[in-house]
Structure 1
Amino acid sequence: MSHSQLWSNDRLAGQISFLVEIDKLKGVLRKTFLMDKSRLENTAEHSWHVSLMAIVLQEHANNPAVDLNRVIRMLLLHDLVEIDAGDTFAYDTQGYLDKEEREQAAANRLFGLLPEDQRGEWMKLWREFEDGETYEAQYAAALDRLQPVIHNYYTGGVSWKNNGIVRSQVLKRLAPIRQVSDTLWEFTLEIVQRSIEQGILGEDPIMKER
């Protein structure tokens, strides 16, 4: 018997089925380590952390009228697709070849558990984040990319070192921050430079030759 067949209220049954299913996000591991380096973080922990970042750092957004409620909702739901699609490492070019297809199928299944009105609303928010056309989506995406860099800095670059990541890859990944916050972009450049100086982020080969 499925979870949805356990309850007499069909709408509530669909919502409970969705909530039970998304618990699986706690078991999806990322490449980022916890600050104490004891283990890898899971995606649910990442979603919680980056959502709090959006609240704490709102004052640094170039657009003071940013809709924080929508930003947080996007940050909490956009990675739910990893339940089916898995986490695609930020620098895995091969994994990105079919990432969009895998995640769209996952979104269809997961949000499909919800009642029709919520399904449409959540799918629209997920699509907004993926398309990155609104300021809210851009702000959310910028923080989503900054969070693992902060983790890397405070863990001595363990994930960067394990995967041979260098400066140019990190700066390319963080470029969207420049569009949403002058202050956070300055911080980005500073943390990357400090990481180079401390030897926790690799320099590009061509830079080493100079």
Structure 2
Amino acid sequence: MDPARAEALLGFLALADRLKTVERRGRVVLPGGGTRRENSAEHSWHLALLALLLHREVAAEIDLGRALAMIAVHDLVEIEAGDTYAYDPAACATQAERERAAADLVFGGLPPDLGAWLRGLWEEFEAGASAEARFALGCDRMQGFLQNVLSGGLAWQEHGVRRADTAGRMDPAKAVDPVFAQLIDRLYARARAGGMLPE
């Protein structure tokens, strides 16, 4: 390997390590009680596990490797753009612009062939441009919802999120496949039973 390419790869991996420092609004329940905020790297791992479990359950033929590649890169732009809370309209209004600029920085430090490949995966995910991208997006939305249910709806309560507020995020995930709809409906039932998400 060319030394400059090796240095670019190591530099990118060091940058990617910063994803562990990007906090999300979702909470992780700690053993023995208490909570802390989930970070984006933990989210990506949990999302990958979800995809691994569900890819054979859905009707569409899913290239798991491609879906997992999108999952691995989908939140790297948050290193520069930060996490955008789904229920913050002001932040959501500027999200696409901020994340495009962040993608220039994050993927631009790689050798051109690798940078174009990873950016292409990120863009495919964002656009929902394939069965794999839609599957990965469904998993992404479901993981965030699951994290809220697992933590007793703490982030929802902190931000005044109601059931109706979640439809715009969860309806597209439910539309990916009946398996997603079934699992998400079960999570809604748990949220309702636990008083986590007011009607």
Both proteins in one fold, TM over 0.5: yes
Matches within 5 A, 1:40-79: 40-63=37-60, 65-79=61-75
Structure having the higher Rg: 1
Task: Tell me the residue number matched to 2:24.
Answer: 30
Query: Contact 1:60 / 1:184 at 8 angstroms: preserved in 2?
Result: no
* Runs ≥4 residues deviating over 3 A: none
2:82 to 69, 73, 86: 86
Q: Distance in 1 between matches of 2:54 and 2:149?
A: 18
Give the match's secondary structure for 1:123: helix
Alpha-carbon spacing, 1:60–1:177, altered in 2? closer, same or farther (3 Å):
farther
Structure 1: stretches of 5+ with no match in the other structure: 1-7, 204-210
Post-superposition CA distance 1:168-206 (Å, at most 9, x none) = 122221112233220220221222133123211111xxx
Matches within 5 A, 1:59-208: 59-63=56-60, 65-203=61-199
CA shift for structure 1 position 61 = 1.6
Give the match's secondary structure for 2:152: coil
Task: Tell me the residue number matched to 1:208.
Answer: none
Query: Contact 2:138 / 2:180 at 8 angstroms: preserved in 1?
Result: no
TM-score normalized with structure 1 length: 0.89
Give the match's secondary structure for 2:85: coil
Give the match's secondary structure for 2:56: helix
Which amino acid in structure 2 is aligned with residue 62 of structure 1?
Answer: A
Query: Contact 2:67 / 2:136 at 8 angstroms: preserved in 1?
Result: yes
TM-score normalized with structure 2 length: 0.93
Q: Distance in 2 between matches of 1:89 and 1:83?
A: 15
**Would you say how many aligned residue pairs link Structure 1 and Structure 2?**
196
2:8 to 1, 14, 17: 14
CA shift for structure 1 position 133 = 2.2
Which stretch of structure 1 is more off in the superposition, 66-75 or 35-44? 35-44
Post-superposition CA distance 1:15-53 (Å, at most 9, x none) = 111011111111110001113352101111111110111
Q: Distance in 1 between matches of 2:169 and 2:95?
A: 16
Query: Contact 1:60 / 1:181 at 8 angstroms: preserved in 2?
Result: no
CA RMSD in angstroms comes to: 1.5
- Percent identity, aligned pairs only, is 37
